[in-house]
Every structure is written in C-alpha cells, then in structure tokens.
Amino acid sequence: MDGFGTIRIHKKTLERFKIFSRKAAMTYSDCLESCMDFFTFHGIGPKDRFGPRFQREQDRTRKRIDAVVAIIKNIERHQTRPTLGLLEALIEQTTRSIMDHDQGHHGEREGFPEPIQQTEWERLLSMEKELQELLDCVIEVNPRMGKPYLRLQTPISKINRLKMELKR
C-alpha cells in the first residue's frame, strides 16, 4: 500500500479542490489521479486551450457521421428499393395470374366467394352508416357509486327501423 505524502497548496486552491472532490464523490487522491489520467489520456496539458484540438475531434466525428449516412443511403439504394420493386412485381404478377385464371373459367370460380352485387354493396354501406350513427348516440355514464356503463340515447323508432333492416 502506498504511503501518504504532503504537498503545499494555496488555501484558496485547496478549498476549490475539496469542493470539486466532493462533487465527484471521490477521495482526494482518487480525484487528483482521475484528473491526471484525463490529461494524459487526451494528450493535453492543463494550460492548453481546447479550441483546435476539439475542433479536430468534432470534424472527425462529423466525417464519421457523414460516412454512416452514406452507407445507409447506399443500402437503401442497392438493397431496399430493388427488394421493394421485386415484391411489387411479384404481387402484380400474382394479381394478373388470378385475373387470367378467372377469365379463363367464365364464372367457374373455385375457392373464391361470389362477388357482391352493386345494390347489396350499397345496402351494406348504408347499414354501416346507420350503425355508425347509432354508435355516435352511445354515451359513457360514470356514476358516483357502481361501475361505469354505456347509455344509448336514441329514439326507439330508430332502433326498430334498424332491426327491420337487419332482418331483410
């Protein structure tokens, strides 16, 4: 184990060092050791100014970021877009083959549901609209005691009309 030694420091500097050491939560020896390691590792001296050295580090970091951006753009250009094009072509080709298959059988559609007639489609759209209007009439009730529940605020005639539509 290392022994302890003494050095002479101005009182003002000693107080600043004690405050700094407390902020870093270290012993005085550890704090001084860390400071010396910092200067040695970064190759700077306590009297050196940070301007040019940090500007070089910043430029180097900026160049690295630009290189990463260039790599990502290259990946997008040479891998992602062609893959997307291949998938789109495959989907288009599959769609065309299904359409050709349907036209070749003239109504013999094995495995496919029957197409919805236009009037039925319009009826479904109107039903969807009416159901949406009905859902808009639902409000949430939060009583002081008991569980919250939903209340439907609409005339009974509207509900009866909707029931009749669903039965058809």
Give 144's DSSP letter.
S
What does each C-alpha distance from 108 to 112, 116, 159 come to in angstroms? 9, 16, 41
Is the same domain home to 38 and 15? Answer: yes
- Distance, CA of 57 to CA of 51 (rounded, Å): 10
What pTM was computed for the model? 0.33
Domain that holds residue 147: 119-167
Within a domain: 6: no
pLDDT per residue, tens digit, the chain (168 aa), is 578 888 899 999 999 999 999 988 778 989 999 989 988 887 778 787 777 777 888 899 999 999 999 999 888 887 777 777 777 777 877 777 777 766 665 555 556 666 666 677 787 888 888 888 888 888 888 888 888 888 888 888 888 888 887 777
How many Cβ atoms are within 10 Å of 35's Cβ, its own excluded? 15
Q: Identify whether 114 is part of a domain.
A: no
Residue 3 within a domain: no
Can you read off the two tokens belonging to residue 73? 């753009």
